[in-house]
Amino acid sequence: MADSTTHSSARASGTWVLIAVGVGTFMSALDGSVVNAILPVMREALHTDVATIEWVVTVYLLSVSGLLLGFGRLGDVRGHKGVYVLGFGGFVISSALCGMAPGVHALIAFRALQAVGAAMLFANSPAILTKSFPAEKRGRVLGLQAMMTYLGLTVGPSLGGWLTQTFGWRSIFYINVPVGIVAVALSLRFVPRDVPAEAGESFDWTGAVLFLAGLVALLLGLNQGHAWGWGSPAIVALLAGAAVLLAIFVAVERRVRAPMLDLSLFRHATFSAATASALLNYICIYSLVFLLPFYLLQARSMNPAQAGLLLTAQPLVMMVAAPLSGALSDRIGSRWPAIVGMTVLSAGLLLESFLSPQTSLTHIALGLAVCGLGTGVFIAPNNSALMGAAPRHRQGIASGVLATARNVGMVLGVGLAGAILTTMLTGHSEPDSAEALSLAVSRGLQVAAGVAAVGVLFAAIRGRNAAGNSPAAAPPHASSTSHG
């Protein structure tokens, strides 16, 4: 009877951990999708130009990307719960500051501050979930977390539009405050207090600064290359500087006793392959996310509401497929779900690439749904394999690597797609025509389909039961956890 009661209590506790982390995941995804959707409204309200208002998104993306690995490592050293809750509190406070921003430059500064909190959330939530559930439930749990991400991405544009129209653009930041306060309270109460796995080690500040500087330089160069010119002195300097800084970072990490990035993790074939395939997956997804609105809004003259509704076909399917695939991977391992997912994504991108000014909306929606299915099938098993391949005392680093792969993939996807779009339109005799746009978007999606095909190969490079019952993912002993 006592064992049964303890088991039921542990199960209930795990459910509340998942709810607490899921609310944070939903809120952060919602925030990102809402801000992207209403940039034109913010530009007009703040009386600024397009180049300036884009920094509201760019500074957030760059800051999050550069800080993820460091905050994941900090979770290993100081405890994941503490870093996660502190980040959540910072995210809530900075959201309120964004809502009160008197001008665009203050808003950009507060968005950078918001990114610090977001990085603390993103870098530690997979580690918290991996440590809080047994290995045989890891795929299901990470799939449910992915579902909350896609729910936020699905709801964001429509909710953001309604809030902006009803209460003004500042309300999209204020809505984070009550939701965030509830999520912080849940996290304080239910997320187990973990004993730092590497409490005796120091934090690698040199590695953290080198990685932040190198990655931000790389991403800024890739992000602004199409706008500043790929051969411009600024872009060349950024990319060259990034290469030097990241090379120094790798050299430092090989020699330091307690590295921010434990390079030995990449000797594990499953860890390396899962990281590479995650990167390629996000390159493909964000190529699609970047390119298709150009086709819908300009080549097909749809309004933003119509285009937004059509684009929800992808995250809706992802939201359903992710938890189901995660649960399946707990039974059969991650290898085949990851292979099938990337294969379906490649097929979906190829299907979506057959575009003309007369392509039926049914065809476009079907292509988006197939892409959503492939990504939904792939994400949770791949994430589970990556987290399971890392030892228990490196779960924070693994979380940071996973989140960094996602963000770098996003930037690379947009940069690749933007370069293809710009090149194709520049070489066309009528660059503003619907035919030129359709052709350019089609070529970009075909390249993305090829990238996904390469991702299939990486998805296949892992153990037969890569998401199996790894001891790294076993939940902490009851005596070492607390809900305080």
Q: What's 370-392 look like in SS3?
A: HHHHHHHHHHHHHHHHHHHHCCH
pTM, two decimals, is 0.78
Which of 39, 38, 35 has its CA nearest to residue 52?
39
Residue 165 dihedral angles phi and psi, to the nearest 5°: -70, -35
**Residue 479: what pLDDT?**
32
User: What is the C-alpha separation between 99 and 167, in angstroms, rounded?
Assistant: 12
CA angle 54, 313, 415 (to 5 degrees): 35
For residue 322, report the phi and psi dihedrals to the nearest 5 degrees: -60, -50
pLDDT score of 199:
55
From CA 408, how far away is CA 117, in angstroms rounded? 18
Give the whole-angstrom CA distance, residue 377 versus residue 345.
9
CB 197 within 8 A of CB 393: yes
Q: Which pair of tokens denotes residue 187?
A: 């996290």
Residues 6+ apart with CB under 8 A from 479: none
Q: 238: Cβ–Cβ under 8 A, 6 or more apart, which residues?
A: 217, 218, 220, 221
Q: Which residues of the chain fall below pLDDT 50?
A: 1-10, 12, 464-484
CA dist 381 and 281 (Å) reads 13
How many whole angstroms separate alpha carbon 470 and alpha carbon 410? 30
- The answer to whether the beta carbons of residues 321 and 369 sit under 8 Å apart is no
Q: Which two tokens stand for residue 263?
A: 């390079």
On whether the CB atoms of residues 87 and 119 are closer than 8 A, the answer is: yes
HSE on the CB side for 118, CA within 13 Å? 28
Distance from chain centroid for Cα 188:
24
- Provide the 10 A C-beta neighbour count for residue 254: 10
369 vs 278, 280, 349, 366, 373, CA distance in Å? Answer: 19, 19, 10, 5, 6
pLDDT, position 6: 41
pLDDT of residue 198: 56
Q: How far from each other are the two terminal CA atoms of the chain, in whole angstroms?
A: 26
Token pair for 305: 């509401």
Tokens matching residue 119 = 């990085």
- Give 381-391 pLDDT, tens digit per residue: 998 899 888 88
Distance separating alpha carbons of residues 400 and 397, to the nearest angstrom: 5
> Rounded to the nearest 5°, which phi and psi values hold at 477?
-60, 145
Contacts of 50 (CB under 8 A, 6+ apart): 43
Residue-by-residue DSSP string for 150-185: HHHHHHHHHHHHHHHHHH-TTHHHHTHHHHHHHHHH
pLDDT value for 463? 53
Q: At what angle do helices 80-100 and 55-78 cross, to 10 degrees?
A: 160
pLDDT of residue 234: 92
Cα four-point dihedral sign 372, 323, 182, 65: negative
Instruction: Using DSSP, state whether 433 is helix, strand or coil.
Output: coil
| Separation CA 369–CA 461 (nearest Å) | 27
Burial of 7 by CB count in 10 Å (0-12 exposed, 13-18 middle, 19+ buried)?
exposed
Separation CA 339–CA 324 (nearest Å): 16
pLDDT on residue 347? 97
DSSP code of residue 473: G
pLDDT of res. 468: 44
What angle, 0 to 180 degrees and rounded to 10, lies between the N-to-C axes of helices 269-294 and 304-311? 150
